[in-house]
Amino acid sequence: EETKYDPSSPYSASKASSDHLVRSWYRTYEVPILITNCSNNYGPYHFPEKLIPKSIKNALKRKDIPIYGKGKQIRDWLYVEDHVKALYKVLTDGIPGETYNIGANNEKSNIEVINLVCSIMDKKIPLKEGSYKDLIVFVDDRPGHDFRYAIDSSKIKKELNWAPSESFETGLEKTIEWFIENKEWLA
């Protein structure tokens, strides 16, 4: 919450600018604002083009599962229902003008995430031969692809007594089950 902003891409600059704009309204007009920043969300209804749903979709269709670069990019993953509970906690107990980071301390590389998706899929819908991991292909990295997104969420844990209830593994299993039961979302 106190770390200086240092956006390295247009995407991250747009996120930083929104925080600055909202904070300026608080300082200038005393509009009671609460700012939250979160780590990468995953769970039901996740946009199909994103890493986890796309991997599940491609696995279900037995298509290549693309990984940018060598898959070493790191993200902190937060189950969407934990995020909702954290937002409610900030809304009901947060101090106006404050910023709260919401994260789960689930830092994983993209290749770790995809390997876990494939392992869970191997258990839930086994292939006749091989593993879903055989579908993984490495593709050219995106321009400006940040190597690491992580967040220090100690403030919300300490001040608002919030902590995520799902581990990455249990949340991912629930996510995969949801997408298997709701294949039309991936269409």
Task: Evaluate whether residue 3 is within a structural domain.
Answer: no
Task: Evaluate whether residue 145 is within a structural domain.
Answer: yes
Sequential pLDDT tens for the chain (187 residues):
777 777 777 877 888 899 999 999 999 999 999 999 999 999 999 999 999 999 999 999 999 999 999 999 999 999 999 999 999 999 999 999 999 999 999 999 999 999 999 999 999 999 999 999 999 999 998 777 778 888 999 999 999 999 999 999 999 999 999 999 999 999 8
The pLDDT assigned to 13 comes to 86
Number of alpha carbons in the 13 Å side-chain half-sphere of residue 115: 8
pTM: 0.92
Are 40 and 102 a contacting pair, CB within 8 Å? Answer: no
Based on the structure, what is the number of domains in the chain? 1
Task: Evaluate whether residue 76 is within a structural domain.
Answer: yes
List all residues 6 or more positions away from 145 whose beta carbon is below 8 Å from its beta carbon: 68, 69, 73
CA distance 17 to 124: 43
The pLDDT assigned to 6 comes to 78
Q: CA dist 88 to 9, 37, 122, Å?
A: 30, 14, 36
Backbone angles phi and psi of 17, in degrees to 5: -65, -35
Are 65 and 59 a contacting pair, CB within 8 Å? Answer: yes
- Helices 168-181 and 110-124, packing angle to 10 deg: 60
Range of the domain at 160: 10-186
The pLDDT assigned to 122 comes to 99
Q: CA dist 125 to 40, 56, 107, 174, 178, Å?
A: 26, 11, 27, 14, 14
The pLDDT assigned to 136 comes to 99
Return the CATH number at 104: 3.40.50.720
Task: Evaluate whether residue 72 is within a structural domain.
Answer: yes
Are 60 and 183 a contacting pair, CB within 8 Å? Answer: yes
What's the one-letter identity of residue 4? K
